[in-house]
A and B are shown apart, each in its own frame.
Chain A
Amino acid sequence: MVKGFVRTLEAVIAAFIVIIFIVNFYVTLKPQETLPSAYSCLKDLDNKGLLRTYAKTGQEDQLKQDLGSCLKLNLNARICSSLDCSAEIPENKNVRATSYVLSGEAIYQKFLIRVWVWL
């Protein structure tokens, strides 16, 4: 009878160890790295005075390169002066899109910058 009790106690202790660990595992789970959003990358480029230059001169490749080093994710980007602004994106991925509008630099020129991001 005592033996049975000890075995049950040991099993209960084992269960406690696992439960406490799992709870602690999720409570303390922190991301190793937090990536910025596409919008914040675009905003940074705008604050540095680069985004308007890229838009004005149509430097899409340079824009993609800068966004790539900021986002560290797969992406596609377009600089458009009209609302007809699409790009090739993978169909089987969960793609997130971001828009950023610009009204020119020195002279009035409207631009729509679209960025598509996927893992």
Chain B
Amino acid sequence: MKGQVYLLIGVLTVLALLSLRSLTPFIQTRPETTIKDDFFNLRNELVNAVDVSLLNESSPQKLMDNLNDFAGFARDAYSQRGYKLNSVYSFAYNASRISVGNFLGESMTGVSVTLLPTGETQNIPLINDGQSVLLSFTQTQGEFTVVVNSNVKSFYYKGLSSPTDGSVSQYFYNNLTLGSAFIKDSFYFNRTINK
């Protein structure tokens, strides 16, 4: 066989591939929901749960019930898809009423809630998973800061926020503090909330 035959076969192959390329539609679909999407969805809707509760002038207990209901509902919905997107929140209705909800998938022990600048502290030895506490403080007005600590640790979801001293990704809005992450070991958070 002469060498030109190979050249001819090469050109014909190229032509065949070109025609295949032009005839075959190539449509790309974006990947479905990412963990980051779900985190922001959960975050926005917890904020919305606070907003609609305040809009309806709900009591601190009712607001906490709504947050608990939604945090548990969302977590169960994510778990049906085979992964954990857990959350923990603290909400200061005002300086005198502060709630902490645990949806981390494990118990939080050694929880302390401190109100600054008075330094008034309340210790909660145990908040079981799915539970929340509503605390009463004596301060009723003025600037205040809430610091919540627990001996539970966690690792943060990268890209959501920078970790500082081992803390988890957090979100702060109004008087709501939300921490949400894939939980491995333990978790703690603290943050200033100014009213």
Q: List chain A positions with a Cβ less than 8 A from chain B.
A: 6-11, 13-15, 17-18, 21-22, 25, 29-40, 43, 73, 83, 96-108, 110, 112, 117, 119
Q: Enumerate chain B residues within 8 angstroms of A6, measured Cβ to Cβ.
A: 3
- Total A-B residue pairs with C-beta atoms closer than 8 Å? 128
Query: Which of B17, B31, B52 is within 8 Å of A105, CB to CB?
Result: B52
**Closest beta carbon of chain B to A115's beta carbon, Å:** 9
Main secondary structure of the interface of A (DSSP, over half): mixed
A25 adjacent to B28 (CB under 8 Å): no
Residue of B nearest to A21 (CB): B14
B52 adjacent to A107 (CB under 8 Å): yes
Q: Is B141 located at the chain interface by the 8 A CB criterion? A: no
Of the candidate stretches B41-49, B129-137, B172-180, the one touching chain A is B41-49
Q: Enumerate chain B residues within 8 angstroms of A11, measured Cβ to Cβ.
A: 3, 6-7
Which B19-53 residues have a C-beta within 8 angstroms of A? 21, 25-33, 37-38, 41-42, 45-46, 48-49, 52-53
Q: Enumerate chain B residues within 8 angstroms of A107, measured Cβ to Cβ.
A: 52, 56
Q: Enumerate chain B residues within 8 angstroms of A108, measured Cβ to Cβ.
A: 49, 52-53, 56, 58, 66, 69-70
**Closest beta carbon of chain A to B86's beta carbon, Å:** 14
A83 adjacent to B11 (CB under 8 Å): no
CA distance A14 to B48 in the complex (A): 65
Instruction: Say which size band chain B's interface belongs to.
Output: 35 or more
Q: Is B77 located at the chain interface by the 8 A CB criterion? A: yes
B6 adjacent to A32 (CB under 8 Å): no
Task: Contacts A38-B32, A39-B33 given; indicate if A18 touches B46 (C-beta within 8 A).
Answer: no
Q: Enumerate chain B residues within 8 angstroms of A31, measured Cβ to Cβ.
A: 26-28
If A17-B11, A34-B29 are given as contacts, then 20 extra A-B residue pairs at C-beta distance below 8 Å, sorted by A number, are A6-B3, A9-B3, A11-B6, A14-B9, A14-B11, A15-B6, A21-B17, A25-B21, A29-B21, A30-B26, A33-B28, A37-B30, A37-B33, A96-B32, A101-B42, A106-B55, A107-B52, A108-B56, A108-B58, A108-B70
Q: Enumerate chain A residues within 8 angstroms of B53, measured Cβ to Cβ.
A: 108
Residue of A nearest to B72 (CB): A110
A34 adjacent to B28 (CB under 8 Å): yes
Task: Contacts A14-B6, A17-B11, A32-B25 given; indicate if A83 touches B73 (C-beta within 8 A).
Answer: yes
CA distance A21 to B21 in the complex (A): 12
A97 adjacent to B81 (CB under 8 Å): yes
Q: Enumerate chain B residues within 8 angstroms of A17, measured Cβ to Cβ.
A: 7, 10-11, 14
B7 adjacent to A39 (CB under 8 Å): no
Task: Contacts A18-B13, A110-B70 given; indicate if A37 touches B48 (C-beta within 8 A).
Answer: no
Query: Which of B7, B21, B29, B30 is within 8 Å of A10, CB to CB?
Result: B7
CA distance A15 to B73 in the complex (A): 61
Q: Is B4 located at the chain interface by the 8 A CB criterion? A: yes
